[in-house]
Amino acid sequence: QQRGTGRAPSGDRSTGDIELEKPPVPLDEFEQTALKVLGDIQANQAFRNVPENDGRLLRIMAQSMGAKNVVELGTSTGISGIWLGLGLKETGGHLTTYEIDSDRAAKARENFKRAGLSDVITVVEGDAHEKLKDFTGTVDMVFLDADKEGYIDYLNTLMPMLRPGGLILAHNINPRMAHPPFMEAITTDPNLDTVVRGGMSITLKKK
């Protein structure tokens, strides 16, 4: 793994199309700093975070849809949060991200600060199943990456707040880890369209 190169490491890439991709190229000093923080997190911490290509996909989705409000379940130390934050910095949007582990939440806050994204991201500490009850407003995009059996509860809570044309992305969607009630919900509702690519489900709320 690389450290201090200003580039996130690429050793965590996992899916088949990856050979065709190239590492991210920073646009400016701001992105350069964020990529360096991402690289440092990967090099120094032993937690499970999204692979770089998934993080980039999250940023691409959030920025291209002009997202103003993104909700993430499972902050960990903030890799996916930084990628989402990079997109939301451009759209003038905000990420609210939930983490039950106080050490990880603290580390994530520190990482967001280092990446210059503190004003774009709010970390809510505690059990997201409880804390989400206080969330109000319209949501453009949801990223599920916490307790897998909890995805269905998060979906049910957030779906009424998701705008038409909004997206729900969920991580660890593979035959071993996908939770059947969640899969049933995102694949049988006529108002939802879902594809699964590289362990990530992407669901569109049609209307």
Ligand X SMILES: C[S@@+](CC[C@H](N)C(=O)[O-])C[C@H]1O[C@@H](n2cnc3c(N)ncnc32)[C@H](O)[C@@H]1O
Interacting residues with ligand X (CB under 6 A):
48-50, 74-76, 78-80, 98-101, 104, 127-129, 145-147, 150
Q: Which is nearer to ligand X, 74 or 116 (CB)?
A: 74
Residues 6+ apart with CB under 8 A from 74: 97, 98, 99, 128, 144, 145, 146, 147, 171
Report, in Å, the least distance between residue 123 CB and ligand X. Answer: 11
Least spacing, CB of residue 81 vs ligand X, in Å: 6
Compute the Cα dihedral for 178, 62, 110, 115 and give only its sign. positive
Instruction: Give the Cα-Cα-Cα angle 20, 24, 27 (nearest 5 degrees).
Output: 135
User: Are 154 and 130 in contact, with CB atoms under 8 Å apart?
Assistant: no
What is the nearest approach in angstroms of ligand X to the Cβ of residue 30? 20
Q: Which residue number, 33 or 189, has a Cβ lying nearer to ligand X?
A: 33
Torsion from C-alpha of 37, 57, 162, 111, nearest 10 degrees: 0
Shortest separation between residue 66's beta carbon and ligand X, angstroms: 22
Nearest to ligand X of 117, 128 (CB atom):
128
CB of 160 to ligand X, least distance (A): 20
**Whose Cβ is closer to ligand X: residue 140's or residue 145's?**
145
Which is closer to ligand X, CB of 90 or CB of 101?
A: 101
Residue of minimal CB distance from ligand X? Answer: 74
Which bin fits 132, alpha (ψ -120 to 50), beta or left (φ > 0)? alpha
